[in-house]
Structure 1
Amino acid sequence: MGTGEGDHGTQAARRRRPSGPSQITAKLTIPFVGEISGTWEPADAERSAAWELYLELVTRVSVEELDPDEGFLREALSSLYTFFNTTREILRRYGPDVAPPLAPGHVSFGVLAVTVLNRVLRPLLAQWHPRLTAYESQRPAGRDPVVHEREWEHAESLRREIAAVRETLVWLARTLQEVANVSDLIDLPAPRAPRPPEGGTLPRRSEEPLTVRAVEVENVLNRGLIGLAA
């Protein structure tokens, strides 16, 4: 049996210092505005911040495509709002090291992050969050919120603007991935469809409304929480 020092040494060895290209060309397309591009020569602090922001992007609805008959606009807006606040927290935590003085034609983590906040996310959230909230307040009691949302006359306009913002965020994620020198966590391989048993067929998917299943899941979770508290 080891003393534990070997285990700590193994864990430390598995951690690696931030590494990656010494220089890249970064480019972002800003919806309805134009393009920002420049040379990025990332420092170690920027590489670490890039990984954190990349992880936030790939685990949120913000980089997931919303199909016309799928997705919930409120969920997408809420995810973007949370991402806005998380990005500011990362900027605060790393401080001036991720926003050094730059020569003309150069960019930094700070420049790209603040550009996305102020030129991409802020206009979308400032315009659409209050409008969607006002419409949601008119939903009759007992009416399915998804059905109510899809009947909104401005739903398609908001969906298009979210799609445009998503393209910028995907570009940002690709840039952060390159700087952080990590794997592609956006376009992950899709799981294979299950094979039917030999001589048989797969069971049919339930046609119950999603909202009914959501209530069932919530009831199960509530029972589990009550059991834990007992």
Structure 2
Amino acid sequence: MRTPAARICISVLIGAVAGLVVFGVTRLSGRNLFVVTGAFAGAVSVLAFQVYGRAARLTEVRVSVPQLSELTFVVNNEAKQVAWRLFVETVTRVSTQPLADDEGLLREALTSLYGLFGTVREALKSTRPSVQARGEQTVEYLAITMLNRELRPFLSTWHPRLKAFEEDSPDRPESEWPQSADCRAELRVVQADLRGYALGFARLAGVKNAMVLVGGAPRGE
């Protein structure tokens, strides 16, 4: 099988055998036809169960998020795909990427966080709930906790305040907002916490060297 000629010979042989099998089956009738058809259906069923079993197999994963301590999760392939999507959405936004005092706009940062909130919520709504076994947590638990503990409080506090300044002083730059420094300080805290969640999603998804992709470190490390 290491040379092209050998691969061609093997392919021809397999094709010839398959042709003989098909020819033989087409000439069967009566009881023999039912026996062959049933055997084929049984083989397909076994293969289908094996594929489903691999997809549904649960894997136990331990995740450490500073805000939540260490939790035990159970994930299958579908849950890993959800965790990967949430990891990508979290790690590619300002939610985890540093924003210096003299860089960017808070309005853009808040808009990005709102987008993350909506994307995570839609991702959870569009997938089936994970199977929960023996009390272990699921990827949905980690995502919903991130929304309700980190994003929602920050956005509900600072979005109305920034919006009020923008409406009262439409001609003034954001840098003149009296609460700008306080908002950026809290944003840095939220970003540090969200990095912990991003690393948690990476752990559930099986991402290697996730710290390099996330950048920085979660608060408390």
Residue segments in structure 1 that go unaligned for 5+ positions in a row: 1-16, 191-230
User: Is it true that 1:170 corresponds to 2:181 in the alignment?
Assistant: no
Runs of 4+ aligned residues of structure 1 deviating over 6 Å after TM superposition are: none
Instruction: Report the secondary structure of 2:168's partner residue.
Output: coil
CA contact 2:72–2:137 (8 Å) conserved in 1: yes
Q: CA deviation at 1:182?
A: 2.8
183 and 25 in structure 1: CA distance in 2 versus 1, 3 angstrom threshold:
closer
Residue 27 (str. 1) matches residue 64 (str. 2): yes
Q: What TM-score do the two structures reach when normalised by structure 1?
A: 0.62
State the percentage of identical aligned residues: 37
Larger Rg: 2
Distance 1:46 1:26, change over 3 A: same
Report what 1:135 is aligned to.
Answer: 165
Q: Give the unaligned 5+ runs of structure 2.
A: 1-53, 216-221
Which of 182, 200, 203 is matched with 2:207 structurally?
182
Matched, 1:103 2:134: yes
Distance 2:210 2:200 in 1: 13
Distance in structure 1 (CA, Å) of the matches to 2:166 and 2:133: 45
In structure 2, C-alpha distance between the alignment counterparts of 1:139 and 1:111, rounded to whole Å = 41
* Counterpart amino acid of residue 112 in structure 2: S
Higher helix share: 2
- What is aligned with 1:125? 155
Contact kept, 8 Å, 1:58 with 1:186, in 2: the verdict is no
Secondary structure (helix, strand or coil) at the match of 2:62 reads: strand
Q: In 2, distance between residues paired with 1:185 and 1:26? A: 13
Please provide the CA RMSD for this pair: 2.6
User: Partner amino acid for 1:76?
Assistant: A
Q: Match for residue 41 of structure 1?
A: 74
Q: Which moved more, 1:124-133 or 1:176-185?
A: 176-185
Distance 2:83 2:191 in 1: 18
- Give secondary structure in 1 for the equivalent of 2:63: strand
Task: Report how many aligned residue pairs link the two structures.
Answer: 160
